């Protein structure tokens, strides 16, 4: 998990444990997204109170990989949208206060990194992706079912499959679907930094 995301969960730990009920919906969504294992689900559900279940989930999430924070936000959409909004607001505030997101070696300005990519930009990115589009979308948190639909709807077009997946990702994440989030996943699947730089320098 990104250190920034880990810090946000730590800072909101007690508030989250009081505000969210770790229902079957949240736990099974995270299980479906391969963030939690079956053992984790049983461990969380075995806790005696709602608060202790929430605390156990928050203990587990930081060690569950780069997709865990985004998947957790999506798990809150149906029942706890105001909690999701609070975490997103804190994330945006921290980016601004600390000069985040980290640009690393991608050489993109912060005002670009914090934007949500347009249809045109997603299309240009899709045109530069090959078979790695699937690994990219999985890292971004797209479900295997959504991936299957993208492949089925665009059987003969890798560009179409990749673009459909990127659009689904943007729709599911809303304001959290930033260029910075794309950067993180492109780095994770070893796509060259020049790919994204070209998109925004044209």
The CATH number linked to 155 is 1.10.533.10
Of 69, 98, 127, the position where a domain reaches its end is 98
Question: CB-based burial of residue 190 (10 Å sphere; 0-12 exposed, 13-18 middle, 19+ buried)?
Answer: exposed
Asked if residue 105 belongs to a domain, the reply is: no
Centroid of chain to Cα 150: 18
Same domain assignment for residues 92 and 115: no
Tell me the pLDDT band of 112, cut-offs 50, 70 and 90. Answer: confident
The four Cα atoms 66, 68, 69, 71 give a dihedral, to 10 degrees, of 120
Tell me the pLDDT band of 103, cut-offs 50, 70 and 90. Answer: very low
pTM for the full predicted model:
0.50
Asked if residue 88 belongs to a domain, the reply is: yes
Asked if residue 159 belongs to a domain, the reply is: yes
Asked if residue 190 belongs to a domain, the reply is: yes
Same domain assignment for residues 86 and 142: no
Same domain assignment for residues 86 and 131: no
- Gap between the Cα atoms of 93 and 79, Å rounded: 24
Tell me the pLDDT band of 131, cut-offs 50, 70 and 90. Answer: confident
Asked if residue 103 belongs to a domain, the reply is: no
Same domain assignment for residues 48 and 83: yes
- Other Cβ atoms less than 10 A from the Cβ of 38: the count is 8
**Mean pLDDT across 28-52:** 90
- Gap between the Cα atoms of 38 and 15, Å rounded: 26
Largest CA distance in the chain: 56
Asked if residue 28 belongs to a domain, the reply is: yes
Same domain assignment for residues 8 and 89: yes
Of 31, 66, 98, the position where a domain reaches its end is 98
- Other Cβ atoms less than 10 A from the Cβ of 178: the count is 21
- Classify 190 in phi/psi space as left (phi over 0), alpha (psi -120 to 50) or beta: left
Q: Is the pLDDT of residue 168 over 90?
A: yes
Same domain assignment for residues 14 and 72: yes
For the ranges 11-25, 40-54, 91-105, 179-193, the lowest mean pLDDT is seen at: 91-105
Same domain assignment for residues 90 and 7: yes
Q: Is the pLDDT of residue 105 over 70?
A: no
Quote the Cα angle for 118-119-125, to 5°.
Answer: 90
Number of domains in the chain: 2
- Other Cβ atoms less than 10 A from the Cβ of 75: the count is 24
Of 54, 69, 98, the position where a domain reaches its end is 98
Asked if residue 158 belongs to a domain, the reply is: yes
Same domain assignment for residues 90 and 124: no
Domain that holds residue 182: 110-200
Same domain assignment for residues 92 and 114: no
Same domain assignment for residues 75 and 117: no
Same domain assignment for residues 94 and 141: no
């Amino acid at each position: 998990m990104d250190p920034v995301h880990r810090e946000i969960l730590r800072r909101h730990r007690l508030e989250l444990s009081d505000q969210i009920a770790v229902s079957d919906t949240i736990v099974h969504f995270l299980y479906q997204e391969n963030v939690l294992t079956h053992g984790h689900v049983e461990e969380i559900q075995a806790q005696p109170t709602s608060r202790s279940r929430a605390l156990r989930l928050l203990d587990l999430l930081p060690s569950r990989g780069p997709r865990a924070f985004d998947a957790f936000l999506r798990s809150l959409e149906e029942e706890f949208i105001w909690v999701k909004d609070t975490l997103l607001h804190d994330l945006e505030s921290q980016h601004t206060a600390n000069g985040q997101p980290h640009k690393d070696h991608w050489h993109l300005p912060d005002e670009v990194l914090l934007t949500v990519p347009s249809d045109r930009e997603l299309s240009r990115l899709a045109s530069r992706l090959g078979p790695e589009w699937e690994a990219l979308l999985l890292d971004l948190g797209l479900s295997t079912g959504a991936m299957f639909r993208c492949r089925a709807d665009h059987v003969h077009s890798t560009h179409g499959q990749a673009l459909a997946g990127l659009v689904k990702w943007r729709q599911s994440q809303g304001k959290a679907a930033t260029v910075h989030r794309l950067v993180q996943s492109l780095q994770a699947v070893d796509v060259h930094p020049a790919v994204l730089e070209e998109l925004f320098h044209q």
